[in-house]
Amino acid sequence: MEIYINGTRTKTLPEKTILAACTDAGVTLPTLCHHPDIAPQGVCGICIVEADGKEVKSCETPVKQGMKIFTHTDSIVEKRKNILREILKDHPNDCLTCEKGNGDCELQNLCYEYEVPNRNKPSDESFPQPEPMDKTTFGMVRDMSKCILCETCVAICRDVQKLSVYETITTETGKKIVIRDGKTLEESGCIACGQCLKACPVGALYEKNDLRTLNRMLRSKEKHFVVQTAPAIKHILGEAFGIEPGEDISGKMLTALRQLGFNGIFSTDFSADVTIMEEGTELLDRIKKGEKLPMFTSCCPGWINYAEKHCPDLLGNISSCKSPQQMFGALSKSYYPKLEGIDEKDVYGVAIMPCIAKKEEIERSSMARNGIRDVDMVLTAREFAKLIKLNRIDFRHLPESGYDQFLGLGSGAARIFATSGGVMEAALRTVVFTLTGEETKPLEFKDLRGFDGVKEAAVTVGDLEIRVAVVNGIGNIPSLVEQVRNGTCPYHFIEVMACAGGCINGGGAPVSSRRDAVAKRAQGLYSSDRNNGLKRSYENPEVAKLYGNYLGKPGEAKSHSLLHTHYAPRNQ
């Protein structure tokens, strides 16, 4: 149908809202409560427009044939200013130190655009403080003094992740967003996936920030600093510097890490290959014995948190393998010091991840040996980008460099770990070879790719048919959990990623307004796989050296003590 936006005729589809039609036409409208993954909220009203002479919320109003839309009349602009003024009445004026600053805060951006100042003073004793900040988890902070009641966190957690940690209540003083049953984040069913944090338009939800501490430590040079970069980081970090989603920026990133002062710069792709060697061995052992099937992957700490809180009866079905992050950490505090001739106590390990739950994972008591933690600190992709900017590094114009030896080489199979289905595909490439001594054909398992909620495939190896499934987003796991409980689950092996799309859409990933960003990131991963001469984890020569010179065989005593762990039920 045809509509008119600010006097310009344009074509659109009848199922579109005014907001969607304007976006398609390149006309930007302000939003605070809108998010592409959830139904229109219609809460904040800042997206108001004039349509056929009436003022309506563009996010929930469908287009009509011949509709005349005006987006920035004097009346509309004034109403938007009044909405912002109303929000700012109770909003802290600490933009200089707010974690959501530097252009990431939508409220700050809109106040700048519409010239609405915040005249509140932080020192004013009458300024309302609704409740103390919730800092009960290692991964994130909840500061409700900055909440603008857009309810996006409520909708994301309820409708996408299906956890319903938050709820909206009405009190004597008005509407309020709380955690159900009066609990803290730690006590609740929260799994630290960070999707609510990423969707929050202001600083009410944010990751616990470690970059300032790390920046000071790097300058002190008191430790031997080792850093690992997750597979996803190579294809998402560039967005923070205006680079296309999915583009592999590894070379520039490694130069930036050297300029920041890291001593050893390595890739989690290497330990992803090690994970496949261990996990594949464990799977085959379980299949042969017919024990604790299906086996679930253990790479995603958000999924592990979910299992411990929501289905602890299935913990025995989860692989005992540590995640690639933690495997790398264990090796960087044991294998690497022996190679370099340094004391393992002097190694300080940093992981750069697209994930909030990874910050919690490193605090587990089982992720340490002889009092030495596998990983000392986790930075999200957003924190890492800020660290680069804080040190005035001109990222876009950096020369390229490579990873250091020993722990820096990864296969294409390891790189695709970062997208939904990638762990399973990587595992099958190695499992088939282990069983038959022949290379996987076909190499690519395209049935496991894409962003459907649950994907499945079957591989026939001799007389054995291995049936697998991939769960894309934690909201899709309940039905499979019930199948396992009642004995009707047909699969041998199940991959679970808490975040839809996998790590490339993790809670610590860059926030993008592009609808195709996650798909572009996945394309970048698969392109890297195609261009990598190593297609399978067992082909990695550095992995072969690790087992030949240090660990022995996958699943044996030494690798089990370093690279495997256990999980336990958690109250909620």
- H-type helices in 32-151, by residue range? 74-88, 106-113
What fold, for 212-563?
Rossmann fold (3.40.50)
pLDDT in tens, 356-385: 999 999 999 999 988 899 999 999 999 999
Per-residue pLDDT tens digits for 106-150: 888 888 888 888 766 555 555 555 578 999 999 999 999 899 999
Count of CA atoms in the C-beta half-sphere (13 A) of 9: 4
pLDDT-based confidence at residue 326 (cuts at 50, 70, 90): very high
Q: Please compute the mean of the pLDDT values over residues 19-35 and round it to a whole number.
A: 91
Mean residue pLDDT of the chain comes to: 91
Q: pLDDT of 460-501, one tens digit each?
A: 877 888 899 999 999 999 999 999 999 999 999 999 999 999
Work out the widest C-alpha separation in the chain, in whole angstroms: 77
Helix (H, G, I), strand (E, B) or coil at 108: helix
In order of 362, 419, 564, the CA distances from 322 in angstroms are 11, 18, 5
Distances, alpha carbon 435 to alpha carbons 150, 286, 321, 444, in Å = 53, 14, 20, 18
DSSP sequence for 353-409: ES-SHHHHHTT-TTSEETTEES-SEEEEHHHHHHHHHHTT--GGGPPP--PPSSS--
**Cα(459)–Cα(498) distance, integer angstroms:** 25
pLDDT at 128: 55
Is-contact 350 226, C-beta < 8 A?
Answer: yes
CATH number of 125-207: 3.30.70.20
Q: Outline where 149-300 has alpha helix (H).
A: 152-155, 195-199, 211-220, 233-236, 250-260, 268-289
- The confidence band for 443, taking pLDDT boundaries of 50, 70 and 90, is confident
Amino acid at 341: G
Q: Do the beta carbons of residue 474 and residue 311 sit within 8 Å?
A: no
pLDDT at 125: 53
3-state SS, residue 152: helix
CA angle 549, 553, 556 (to 5 degrees): 115
Q: 539-565: per-residue pLDDT in tens?
A: 999 999 999 999 999 989 999 999 999
> Rounded to an integer, what distance in angstroms lies between the CA atom of residue 204 and that of residue 386?
19
Is residue 127 within 8 A of residue 94, CB to CB? The reply is no
In the predicted model, what is the mean pLDDT of residues 86-115?
83
Whole-prediction pTM: 0.89
Higher pLDDT, residue 441 or 498: 498
Residue (of 42, 104, 71) closest to 513 by Cα position: 104
CA dihedral 502, 506, 510, 516 (to 10 degrees): 30
User: What is the architecture of the domain spanning 2-88?
Assistant: Roll (3.10)
Residue pair 494/423 in contact by the 8 Å Cβ criterion: no
The Cα-based distances of 221 to 216, 344, 383, 392, 487 in angstroms read: 9, 16, 20, 19, 55
pLDDT at 108: 87
- 3 state DSSP class of 424: helix
Task: Evaluate the CA torsion angle 338, 340, 342, 344 in order and state its sign.
Answer: negative
Give the whole-number percent of the chain exceeding pLDDT 70: 97
Per domain, the residue ranges of the chain are 2-88, 125-207, 212-563
**Which letter, b or e, does each residue of 348-379 get, where b requires 16 or more Cβ atoms within 10 Å of its Cβ?**
bbbbbbbbbbbbbbbebeebbeeeebbbbbbb
Which tokens in the block code for residue 9? 């005729």
pLDDT digits (tens, 9 = 90+) for 216-234: 898 888 899 999 999 999 9
* β-sheet bridge partners, residue 160: none
